Amino acid sequence: MTPQPGPPASDERTGDEAHSRPERALAREIDRLVRLVERMNLGDYIGLLQRPGRLLWINFLAGLARGLGTILGATLLVSLILAVAQRIIATHLPGVSEFVQHFVRLLQQTPPRTP
């Protein structure tokens, strides 16, 4: 009699499953890393590093925006402080209004020119 082809023996299955488990785990890890790299836009970053002129231009524009924002913010803050100080002066609070009036006078003075 010839042996009938049938399902593999149980120990053969465990050998195949043992090999496929690490492969599946590796495939899952690779998929996770691919998603992570896509989320980080790593390709765009590497492309930017390969064009240093573009990187310098983008950083220059970012610096201008930060500087402009700082100047505008400081201007608004000082204007707000001066407006509040002038209202305090207008109310003639004893002691406080004299101090604030002196402070505002100091702020409005032009600095002496140096040769």
Q: Would residue 78 count as lying in a domain?
A: yes
Full domain range(s) for residue 85:
58-109
Residue 10 has pLDDT above 60, yes or no: no
Q: What is the pTM of this model?
A: 0.47
- Who wins on pLDDT, 54 or 90? 54
Q: How confident is the model at residue 16 (pLDDT cuts 50, 70, 90)?
A: low
Residue 74 has pLDDT above 50, yes or no: yes
Q: Are 37 and 43 in contact (CB under 8 A)?
A: yes
Q: How confident is the model at residue 53 (pLDDT cuts 50, 70, 90)?
A: very high
C-alpha separations of 36 from 32, 39, 46 in Å: 6, 5, 15
Give the mean model confidence (pLDDT) for residues 19-42: 87
How confident is the prediction for the chain on average, in pLDDT? 81
Structural domains in the chain (count): 1
Q: Would residue 102 count as lying in a domain?
A: yes
* Sign of torsion over alpha carbons 88, 92, 94, 95: positive
Residue 73 carries which side chain, given as an amino acid letter? G
Q: What is the pLDDT of residue 11?
A: 46
Give the mean model confidence (pLDDT) for residues 64-92: 90
Q: Would residue 33 count as lying in a domain?
A: no
Residue 86 has pLDDT above 80, yes or no: yes
Give the mean model confidence (pLDDT) for residues 69-87: 92
Q: Would residue 10 count as lying in a domain?
A: no
Residue for token digits 């009938």?
4
Q: Are 24 and 30 in contact (CB under 8 A)?
A: no
